[in-house]
Structures are given as C-alpha cells and as structure tokens.
Structure 1
Amino acid sequence: MATSVRGFSSALRDVPGSYGLPLVGAVRDRLDFYYFQGQDKYFESRVERYGSTVVRMNVPPGPFMARDPRVVAVLDAKSFPVLFDMDKVEKRDLFTGTYMPSTSLTGGHRVCAYLDPSEPTHAKVKQLLFSLLLSRKDDVIPVFRSNFSSLLATVESDLAEGGKAEFNKLNDVTSFDFIGEAYFGVRPSATDLGKGGPTKAAKWLIWQLHPLLTLGLPMVLEEPLLHTFHLPPFFVKGDYGALYKYFSTVAKQALDTAEGLGLSREEACHNLLFATTFNSYGGLKVLFPGILANVASAGEKLHERLVAEIRGAVAEAGGKVTLAAVEKMELAKSVVWESLRLDPPVKFQYGHAKKDLQVQSHDAVFQVKKGEMLFGYQPCATKDPRVFGATAKEFVPGRFLGEEGSKLLQYVYWSNGRETENPTVDNKQCPGKNFVVLVGRLFLVELFLRYDTFTADIGKDLLGSSVVFTSVTKATSGPGSE
C-alpha cells in the first residue's frame, strides 16, 4: 500500500480526505466498497489519492442504517493501535461499527461485544468467559481430536466416492459440535437442536452482518435487500430460540458462576450464546479454511516441514498430543499467526475519541477531535510493507520464527489487541485469544499426523476462503501412520 508522503513530520496535520456530498457521497462510496472496487482497493485507493494512511472517508453501510458513516480511518501498523487504547477511545455499541443490529437478535440485551469496559457488566461477562475457558481447558485437545478426526474420515470417504471433498460444509458442522462440546461437554447435534444447529447459527449471523456482506446477487437486488435497511429480527426468532434452549440447558455450571458474579442467568445465557456462536463458531468458520487454503497453496515443502515438526514433537511425548508437545511446534504456531495476519476473522475495528487526540502514522501526526469515529481496516495495518516488507501481502509460513520473527508479533492485531498482549476485563481484546491460536495449531496437528501431503482447490466463500480437497496422501510413518 503505497503513500506519497515522504519523511516523518512531528507537526500536527489536519486529517486529509473527503466525505463527499451529504447522502450522495456515502451512497457512492458504498457502491465502490461493495461492487466497483472491493474492500481492499476501496481503502488503498484513498490512501493513494490523499497521500496519507490516516484519512477521512465514509465506511458502509451508511445511509438509512441509523449511524453516521463518516470516520477517520487509521490504515497503517503505526496508527491502528490507537483503537486498542481504552484511555483514548470508547467502544460502546461499536462492535459492528457504523450500524448496530437490533438487540432483538440477542434477547433484548446489549451483549459484551457492544459494551465499553467502563460499563460494569463488561467486566462481569468477560470474567465469566475467562472462567468458562479455564474450567474446560483440559477438555479442548481430546474433544478437538475426536471431532476433527471424524471430519477427516469424512473427507477421505467423500474423496473416494466423488474425487473431491468440500471442507467448508464439513467444517461448519464439525466446528459447531466441537465448540459446544469443548465449552459445555455436550455436542449440540446430540441434543434437541440436532444437526440443524449450524444452519440456525449461520442464519442468525447473517441477520447481524448482512450490511457488510455481498451474496453475489445483482447490485439492484443486494442494495435494498442487504445494505439499506435492517432485516426483520422476527424471521430468525425461532432459530435463536432453539439456540438459546440448547445453551440454557447445557451451560448450567457456567450460569451458576454467572450468578456468583452478579449476572442474571438470562443475561448470562444470551452472552454465552453470542460469545460461543458469533465469536467462537463464527471465527472458526473463517480460521480453519484460511489456514487450510494457505497451507495447501504453499505446497509439499511446507507440508514436509510441518510433518517433521508435528510428528517429532508427538513422538517425544510418547505418541500423545499434549499441550506441552503442541507448544514445541514453533512452525505450526507461526503458520497460524501468519494466517491470522493475512485474513483476520474480524477485519474492522472502531472507537469514538474520548477526547481531542493526536494520532501518529509512520509519516505524520494528526489531530482528531473528541467524539469523532476512528476506524481501522485491519488488513491494511497487518499487511503494512513498512513493517512486513516486500512480502507483506504474501503467506510466509516461518515469518514469526526466531528472534527477529518474534519482534513482528506486536503487529499482529487479529484479536483486537497486539498478539504480545493478553485480554483482561479492562480491555476489548478477545477473551479466547489463546484458545484460537491453540485450536489453529491442533488443526494442523490433526492434518499432518494423518497425511503426508494433500491438494485442494481454493476459492472465495461468504466470509473468507473456500477449500475443496482434491487428494490426500495418508501418513507413511510416525504417529499418524498407526
């Protein structure tokens, strides 16, 4: 992402950019964002036009969604972290940014994602999520292996029958079961929810995210259907009710903990549903296909390196997949971080300036007024060539290996915070940050204990990458060949 600004100036600058004519400018920018340019080009073109990585612009969906689309965008690795500073920005009702879904989609509650850390309920809910993760930590590895070994067995069956296996569909079902069992000890498919859980969850997710999605329909249909007005919550009321019934039944221990923290069982249950279904399940819908797409595209040389590392660490652990063994897999961890850098599950971050601020980019310092909306498009920051060099937009599996590689981790922002920092009740960093990196490595472990190599066709899905296995080569040595 090029900029014409040369050299750093400490003098305060006004933020360049334009919002265009009232209403017309925002609509025109929305069309650029979704159809004429696409997300990456939309932001990169404005950086180039104004010669600055801090720039004023409209962020869709804009008009008729009841929120001002005008923002100050921070689009490099230097300026982006202002969005993590709770002394400088407020996060109240900004999880989805320039619009907010109806609270009818979350049982009438503003769930934790929409709370600012200054609100008392935020700390209570986040502590509940920390407690849940801690209480179930010993179950993650065996539950993951059980669920995803079944997925890979289905991959092999599908390949044998039809010569291909669609990973995304299998992953949707498996990830939903895994998350439910890992967090609460009960697979959703084994309850009254049955096998329809992922479909109900996906429909509910679309109702919240539709202003930021394109389904590939003609623009004349998508604009009024998805980007102009909120879809009526009534149409997913039954789906949400079925999901809520599952969580209220299986999460009894967590709900007991919630009462001890001063939360009602009802509010806690809606928060658990959101965190599990939107954050965790929604994240894995993007994470695993993204990792798989990158590793497939990298080819056999990377596969050989991962096979050697993973099987060696497991062999040293007596043939068992343990947390200690997984921690030794440095290349696998780097692959997961690199995938999260390139394709973060959540690409947008927002914050209202709590006071007059000075925001520093690589090249200048800018004045931002109290109350203005700050916005960050994460791929611009995490593909910043001033940090990641000429390969900033490429998948480099070993990017984070060694001493020099570890220095780059502070610029990996996927969790709404630096990878070198940890979530607390006082910040907005993802409470499951370490869980996500762990399961990403477990996915690679399961894959390369079982296979020496594989091939796949890579495409685009609604939320990220689409992967279709075309071949797998079963393991010929090591723990995976048993």
Structure 2
Amino acid sequence: MSSYSDQNPSRTSDILPVKEIPGGYGLPFFGPIKDRIDFYYSQGADEFYRSRIKKYNSTVFRVNSPPGPFNAKDSKVVVLLDALTFPILFDTSKVEKRNVFIGTFMPCTHFTGGYRICAYLDPSETKHNVLKSFFLSTLAKLHKQLIPTFRASVTQMFTDLESELSDKGEANFNPISDKMSFDFLFRLFGNKSSYDTSVGGEGNSDLDRWLLFQLAPLITLGLKYLPNCLEDLLLHTFPLPYFLVKSGYEKVHDELHEAAAGLLDEAEQHGLSRDEASHNLLFLVGFNSYGGTKVIFPAVLKYVGTGGEDLHRRLAEEIRSVVKEEGGVTLSGLNKMSLTKSVVWEALRIEPPVVFQYGKAKEDITVTSHDASYVIKKDEMICGYQPFATKDPKVFENPEVFVPDRFLGDGEKLIKYVYWSNGRESDDPTANNKQCPAKDMVVLLSRMMVVEFFLRYDTFSVEVGTLLLGSSVTFKSVTKAI
C-alpha cells in the first residue's frame, strides 16, 4: 500500500487517524440518477459537494459522479475536495489516467478522427510518450513566435471591441475573444490566418459545436422553457451524435492539415502517421488551447475588470514601465511583471478552467487531508473537484475573494496549490506526465491579454455573468490611455 501526503513532515498520515471513507452510492441505477439530479438541478455543483462535506464532516467521501448511467459504465467515485489530497490525481505512478480526460465517460473516437487522442492515453501507453514529445517539441519551436503572433491577432480584437461598444453602448467580449483566439492559434500552428482559408471567420463556431457535443453530458443549459427532465434525457442520458458536427470538424481539420504541413513532417520523424498526428494536433489546438483560452481570457478580464480603478492604475504603471524599459513587449519583460503574474495566477486559482480531474487507483493508496487519512482501494475511481481544492480555506486566506496581490513576494510559494492544468502550477509538463502540454503557453497568453489591455486603456468597466463554459464578460466602457 502506498501513502500519499502533501503536507509538512510533522503532520503525516502516521499522526492523523485513518478513517473509513464516508458516503455511499445508493441503490443500483437509482442512486446515480438521484445524485445526477441533485448535481445538475436540485443543488448545482458547488452546493452538491458543499452539503456533503457538511454531512460527512470530511473533504473525502464516496458519491456518484455525473453523468451516471448510460453515458458511463460506472459512476462510483471517491471525491477529493481539499488541497492536500487532490495532487494524488497528478501522480501517474499511483493512478491510471486511461480514458478519463473529461470524466467517467469518454466521447466516441469519431470526434477525433477515429483515434484515441493523447489526452485519453495513460503515460504507460507507448503512443502517449511519442505524441506528448511531439507536442512539447512543437510548442518549444513556436515559443518565440507567441508574442508577435498574438499581438498581430489581438489588434483586430480591440478594433471589434471598440466598434461594438460605440455602436451598441456595450460589447460582448466572449465571441470577439473566441474569434481572435482561434485565428491566433491557426496563425501560430498553421503559419497563416484562418481568414485566408475556407474556414474563414467561422472556425471558432465549428470548434464550439464540436466541443459542446463532446462535453454535453457534463453541462446543463439552464433554459427556463426546457423542463429539467427533458434536458436530462437529451444531454445526460445518451451521447450526442458526431455526424451533426462532422462537416465543421472536417473543414477545420483539412485546412489545418494543409497549413501545418511542416509540423506534420516532423511528426512523421517522431514515428507518427500523418493522419493520426493531424487529429492530435487539432485536439491540441482546438480542445487544449482554444478550449482553454475560451474560458481563461474572460475569467482573467472578469476579475481584473471588477478589481477597480486602483488595481487598473497599478497594472498600467507596472506594464508600461517594464515595456518602456525593455523597448517593447518581451518574454523577459513579462517575467518582470510581478503584479500581472499574480493577477493571472489568482484568476486561475479562483476560477480554474478545468473543474474535474479523474484517475483510477493502481494500488491501495492512503491519502491524507487536513484532518484524517483514508485508504482508497485498488481500481477505485478517484474524482477531484478542482474549484474546491484551489479554494481550500486551510491553505488560502479569504479563499472565495479575488486578491490581486496574493502571489506577490513570499506569496509566490503558494502557486504549488494552483491546480488547473492536471498538475501543479509550479510543475512542468513532460512526456511522462499528464499535465497539459500547452500549460505554459496558456499562462503566458493570459498575461499577454492583460498587458495588451493596459497598453491601450487606463481603465474599463465590465458586467459579468455565466455561460455553459465559464464566465461571460460584457464591456460597458473603456478609457483609452493618453
């Protein structure tokens, strides 16, 4: 049996009591259905977990994880909801990550060209190392192009934002950002604008539908005119068919396949077939990267925008002084922007773009929370709900509050408790782990987004809400820098 503890040596599983994992799964079939209804409709995700923490007086317990019957073979999981037990899900020597990328179910491989994409492979599978090495090599080669390519793409975004704000008195940031993100990523990986292909300006919409159909069992539409029972039947009972999004996916795939010919040449040198590499590359671009920026960019601007004029003044001063000192926007300059880095990490902490992590225990494992130790048996499925782990009140002071300065100075040591990329923020993705290969790129781009805003504007005001995936941000005003 292995023991896992993420705390000081003075507080190990040898000192804290070993307890039985509380909770249960209810009656076969009916238990998972009841938990699914609670999760989506009666309580919502946060209250679903919060009420059970209170009921069991534990951040570790047993429950059924959605979507439950039909979409998943087994919904029984052990849930981890604190910062100390959660990292066991990153340890691939202890947990298997085969086919658990988005939960207890896996979408049909038709959505990914008939291949089990790298995200669904366990590191023990040979193909995982080959694909992940290809991804990391590709991202390393493109690293120097990130800043100039992003700056070229973001200019149009600001033009669209200001135009809509002028015409309508407000501007919905999400669709404007999504179009920019998709074109930027196509430029980066394909070395040409998506507008110069048959994809045009609709590529992000094609990917949105493709993402939605894969993630449908995990979402709720919240439509007042659609009864819960009907939505549950449509979204959570049967997987949505690929043929409804096939044409859009194939259009984007074919254009990227042609534009990224040079990268696919390198993939063949890694021993990959051109076709398999192209579908994996599109997943990296469309799911990992575009899907990430689709959630992260609005989240960052939500918290920065509502942070007030004093925060805006401090960010503007830091960003402009460093850019002036560096003679432009540079990688070294971005690393000098301490407040900008802290703001992005805090946004990732308080609203992680990925909310779940899963893994199956390879052996009996003892995990230790703040209060007790628990034994997870071999072959049990483990589920971590990330927004609770990253807002653990025993790690972070005022965990529900956005604190821009949280990671300044000695506070930077706390970034090891920022979980969003299937790993710690203080760790790096490798070919042998499951951390998102684009993790560093997404963080860098989030900083770039803040930088570009405050190079143009002194302050801005926003109105925020929620969408199927993440937050919505509507700009109400911007004050241009003089």
Scaled by the length of structure 1, the TM-score of the pair is: 0.95
Partner of 1:235: 244
Partner of 1:365: 373
Provide Cα deviations, 1:445-480, integer angstroms capped at 9, x if missing partner.
10000000001111111111111111100002xxxx
Partner of 1:394: 401
Partner of 2:181: 175
**1:111 CA drift (Å):** 0.2
- Give the 3-state SS of the residue equivalent to 2:139 in structure 1: helix
Instruction: Note if contact 1:189-1:197 (Cα within 8 Å) is conserved in structure 2.
Output: no
1:166 aligns with 2:175: no
**1:66 CA drift (Å):** 3.4
Partner of 1:321: 329
Distance 2:167 2:246 in 1: 38
Provide Cα deviations, 1:36-80, integer angstroms capped at 9, x if missing partner.
111111111111110111100111000111320110001100000
Partner of 1:277: 286
Amino acid at match of 1:260: Q
Provide Cα deviations, 1:414-444, integer angstroms capped at 9, x if missing partner.
1111111111111001111111111011000
Partner of 2:84: 78
**1:189 CA drift (Å):** 2.3
1:423 aligns with 2:429: yes
**1:25 CA drift (Å):** 1.3
Amino acid at match of 2:115: H
Provide Cα deviations, 1:108-145, integer angstroms capped at 9, x if missing partner.
10000000000011111111111111111121111111
Distance 1:247 1:126 in 2: 19
Amino acid at match of 2:402: F
Provide Cα deviations, 1:249-302, integer angstroms capped at 9, x if missing partner.
011111111111111011101100111101100110100000010011111010
Amino acid at match of 1:445: V
Candidates 362, 367, 385, aligned match of 1:377: 385
Candidates 65, 68, 71, aligned match of 2:71: 65
Scaled by the length of structure 2, the TM-score of the pair is: 0.95
Instruction: Note if contact 1:133-1:183 (Cα within 8 Å) is conserved in structure 2.
Output: no
- Give the 3-state SS of the residue equivalent to 2:382 in structure 1: strand
- Give the 3-state SS of the residue equivalent to 1:384 in structure 2: coil
1:200 aligns with 2:203: no
1:408 aligns with 2:408: no
Partner of 1:310: 319
Partner of 2:481: 475
- Give the 3-state SS of the residue equivalent to 2:358 in structure 1: strand
- Give the 3-state SS of the residue equivalent to 2:396 in structure 1: helix
**1:97 CA drift (Å):** 1.3
- Give the 3-state SS of the residue equivalent to 2:74 in structure 1: coil
Instruction: Note if contact 1:149-1:446 (Cα within 8 Å) is conserved in structure 2.
Output: no
- Give the 3-state SS of the residue equivalent to 2:63 in structure 1: strand
Partner of 1:226: 235
Distance 1:96 1:475 in 2: 42
Partner of 1:126: 132
Distance 1:99 1:365 in 2: 28
Ranges of 4+ aligned residues in structure 1 off by more than 4 Å: none
**CA RMSD, aligned part only?**
1.2
Distance 1:455 1:11 in 2: 50
- Give the 3-state SS of the residue equivalent to 2:100 in structure 1: coil
Distance 2:130 2:195 in 1: 30
**Structure 1: unaligned runs, 5 residues or longer:** 1-6, 477-482
**1:82 CA drift (Å):** 0.5
**1:194 CA drift (Å):** 1.2
Distance 2:475 2:16 in 1: 52
- Give the 3-state SS of the residue equivalent to 2:216 in structure 1: helix
Provide Cα deviations, 1:162-208, integer angstroms capped at 9, x if missing partner.
11111001011111001111222122222111111111100000110
**Structure 2: unaligned runs, 5 residues or longer:** 1-11
Provide Cα deviations, 1:368-396, integer angstroms capped at 9, x if missing partner.
1100001100011000000002x101111
**1:12 CA drift (Å):** 2.2
Distance 1:284 1:257 in 2: 26
- Give the 3-state SS of the residue equivalent to 2:395 in structure 1: helix
Distance 1:141 1:85 in 2: 33
Distance 1:428 1:297 in 2: 34
- Give the 3-state SS of the residue equivalent to 2:252 in structure 1: helix
Aligned length: 467
Distance 1:242 1:349 in 2: 31
Partner of 1:48: 54
Distance 1:91 1:422 in 2: 18
Distance 1:239 1:150 in 2: 24
